A and B are shown apart, each in its own frame.
Chain A
Amino acid sequence: MSDHLLTVEELRVAFRTEEGVVQAVDGVSFHVDAGEVLAIVGESGCGKSVTGMTLMGLTRSPNARFDGRVRWGEQELLGASDEALRRIRGAEIAMVFQDPMTALNPVQRIGKQVAEQVRAHTDLEQGAALERARELLERVGIPRAGDRLRAYPHELSGGMRQRVMIAMALSCDPRLLIADEPTTALDVTIQAQILEEVRTLRAETNAGVILITHDLGVVADVADRVVVMYAGQIVEEGTLDELFYDPRHPYTWGLLGSIARVDRPRPARLPAIAGAPPSLLAPPRGCRFGPRCPHRFEQCAELPALEARDGSEPSHLDRCWLTPEEKRAKRQVGGQIGLEAA
Chain B
Amino acid sequence: MTRFVVRRLISMVLVLFAISVLTFLIFQAIPNGDPAARLAGRTSTPETVAAIRKSWGFDQPIYEQYLTTMKKILSGEVISYAQQVNVLHEIEQDLPATLSLAIGAGIIWLALGVLFGLLSAMRAGRFSDRALTVLALIGVSTPVFLLGAVALYFLAFKASIFPNGGYVPLTQDPLQWLYHMILPWLVLSVLFIGIYSRVLRSSLLDTMHEDYVRTARAKGISERRVLLRHVLRNSLIPIVSLWSLDFAAVIGGGAILTESVFNLHGVGQYAADSIAQLDVPPVMVIVMLGAFFVVVLSAVTDVVFALLDPRIRLTGR
Question: Which chain A residues have a beta carbon within 8 Å of chain B's beta carbons?
Answer: 56, 58, 60, 62, 82, 86-91, 94-95, 97, 99, 102-108, 116-117, 120-121, 152, 154, 165, 168
Given contacts A103-B211, A103-B212, A105-B212, A154 and B311 within 8 Å (CB-CB) = yes
Residues of B with C-beta under 8 A to A58: 214, 217-218
- The smallest beta-carbon distance between B170 and chain A, in angstroms, is 37
Per the bound structure, the CA–CA distance linking A106 and B212 in Å amounts to 8
Asked whether A107 lies within 8 Å of B215 as measured between CB atoms, the reply is no
Q: Which listed residue, B222, B223, B225, B308, touches A107 by the CB 8 Å rule?
A: B308
Residues of B with C-beta under 8 A to A108: 229-230
Give the residues from 269 to 317 in chain B that come closer than 8 angstroms, CB to CB, to chain A.
308-311
Give the residues from 172 to 215 in chain B that come closer than 8 angstroms, CB to CB, to chain A.
210-212, 214-215
**Interface check B72, CB cutoff 8 A:** no
Asked whether A97 lies within 8 Å of B220 as measured between CB atoms, the reply is no
Given contacts A58-B214, A97-B211, A97-B214, A105 and B220 within 8 Å (CB-CB) = no
**Interface check B234, CB cutoff 8 A:** yes
Q: Which listed residue, A89, A102, A103, A106, touches B220 by the CB 8 Å rule?
A: A89
- The smallest beta-carbon distance between A313 and chain B, in angstroms, is 36
Residues of B with C-beta under 8 A to A168: 215, 219
Per the bound structure, the CA–CA distance linking A268 and B225 in Å amounts to 55
Asked whether B310 lies within 8 Å of A103 as measured between CB atoms, the reply is no
Whose C-beta in chain B lies nearest to the C-beta of A153? B212
Residues of A with C-beta under 8 A to B233: 107
Residues of A with C-beta under 8 A to B168: none
**Interface check B216, CB cutoff 8 A:** yes
Whose C-beta in chain A lies nearest to the C-beta of B308? A107
Given contacts A154-B310, A154-B311, A104 and B215 within 8 Å (CB-CB) = yes
Give the residues from 224 to 280 in chain B that come closer than 8 angstroms, CB to CB, to chain A.
225, 229-230, 233-234
Per the bound structure, the CA–CA distance linking A165 and B308 in Å amounts to 22
Asked whether B216 lies within 8 Å of A105 as measured between CB atoms, the reply is yes
**Interface check B31, CB cutoff 8 A:** no
Given contacts A58-B214, A103-B211, A105-B215, A121 and B220 within 8 Å (CB-CB) = yes
Whose C-beta in chain B lies nearest to the C-beta of A178? B218
Residues of B with C-beta under 8 A to A165: 215
Asked whether B212 lies within 8 Å of A87 as measured between CB atoms, the reply is no
Whose C-beta in chain A lies nearest to the C-beta of B230? A105
Given contacts A106-B311, A152-B310, A95 and B218 within 8 Å (CB-CB) = yes
Asked whether B311 lies within 8 Å of A90 as measured between CB atoms, the reply is no
7 nearest interchain CB pairs? Answer: A90-B220, A89-B220, A117-B219, A102-B211, A90-B219, A95-B218, A105-B212
Per the bound structure, the CA–CA distance linking A88 and B217 in Å amounts to 11
Whose C-beta in chain A lies nearest to the C-beta of B237? A107
- The smallest beta-carbon distance between A132 and chain B, in angstroms, is 14
Asked whether B216 lies within 8 Å of A107 as measured between CB atoms, the reply is no
Q: Which listed residue, A62, A82, A88, A121, touches B223 by the CB 8 Å rule?
A: A82
Residues of B with C-beta under 8 A to A106: 212, 234, 309-311
Residues of A with C-beta under 8 A to B125: 62
Whose C-beta in chain B lies nearest to the C-beta of A99? B211
Asked whether B222 lies within 8 Å of A86 as measured between CB atoms, the reply is yes
Residues of A with C-beta under 8 A to B159: none
Interface CB pairs A-B, < 8 A, 27:
A82-B223, A86-B220, A86-B223, A88-B220, A89-B218, A89-B219, A89-B220, A99-B211, A102-B211, A103-B214, A103-B215, A105-B212, A105-B216, A106-B309, A107-B233, A107-B234, A107-B309, A107-B310, A108-B230, A116-B229, A117-B219, A117-B220, A117-B221, A120-B221, A121-B220, A152-B310, A154-B310
Q: Mark B50-74, 1 if CB is under 8 A from A, else 0.
A: 0000000000000000000000000
Given contacts A103-B212, A107-B234, A56 and B310 within 8 Å (CB-CB) = no
Per the bound structure, the CA–CA distance linking A121 and B233 in Å amounts to 23
Give the residues from 109 to 138 in chain B that come closer than 8 angstroms, CB to CB, to chain A.
125
Given contacts A62-B125, A103-B211, A152-B310, A90 and B218 within 8 Å (CB-CB) = yes
Per the bound structure, the CA–CA distance linking A88 and B220 in Å amounts to 7
Q: Which listed residue, A97, A121, A152, touches B215 by the CB 8 Å rule?
A: A97
Residues of A with C-beta under 8 A to B309: 106-107
Per the bound structure, the CA–CA distance linking A120 and B222 in Å amounts to 8
Per the bound structure, the CA–CA distance linking A323 and B218 in Å amounts to 44
Residues of A with C-beta under 8 A to B311: 106-107, 152, 154
Per the bound structure, the CA–CA distance linking A113 and B160 in Å amounts to 54
Asked whether B220 lies within 8 Å of A87 as measured between CB atoms, the reply is yes
Per the bound structure, the CA–CA distance linking A102 and B234 in Å amounts to 13
Per the bound structure, the CA–CA distance linking A152 and B313 in Å amounts to 13
- The smallest beta-carbon distance between A95 and chain B, in angstroms, is 4
- The smallest beta-carbon distance between B256 and chain A, in angstroms, is 38
Asked whether A94 lies within 8 Å of B218 as measured between CB atoms, the reply is yes
Q: Mark B8-39, 1 if CB is under 8 A from A, else 0.
A: 00000000000000000000000000000000
Asked whether A86 lies within 8 Å of B221 as measured between CB atoms, the reply is yes
Residues of B with C-beta under 8 A to A97: 211, 214-215, 218
- The smallest beta-carbon distance between B82 and chain A, in angstroms, is 52
> What would 8 more interface pairs be, CB under 8 Å, given A94-B218, A108-B230, A116-B225?
A86-B221, A97-B211, A107-B309, A117-B221, A121-B220, A152-B310, A152-B311, A154-B310
Whose C-beta in chain A lies nearest to the C-beta of B214? A58
Asked whether A116 lies within 8 Å of B221 as measured between CB atoms, the reply is yes
- The smallest beta-carbon distance between B311 and chain A, in angstroms, is 5
Residues of A with C-beta under 8 A to B218: 56, 58, 89-90, 94-95, 97
Residues of A with C-beta under 8 A to B217: 58, 60, 89
Residues of B with C-beta under 8 A to A89: 217-220
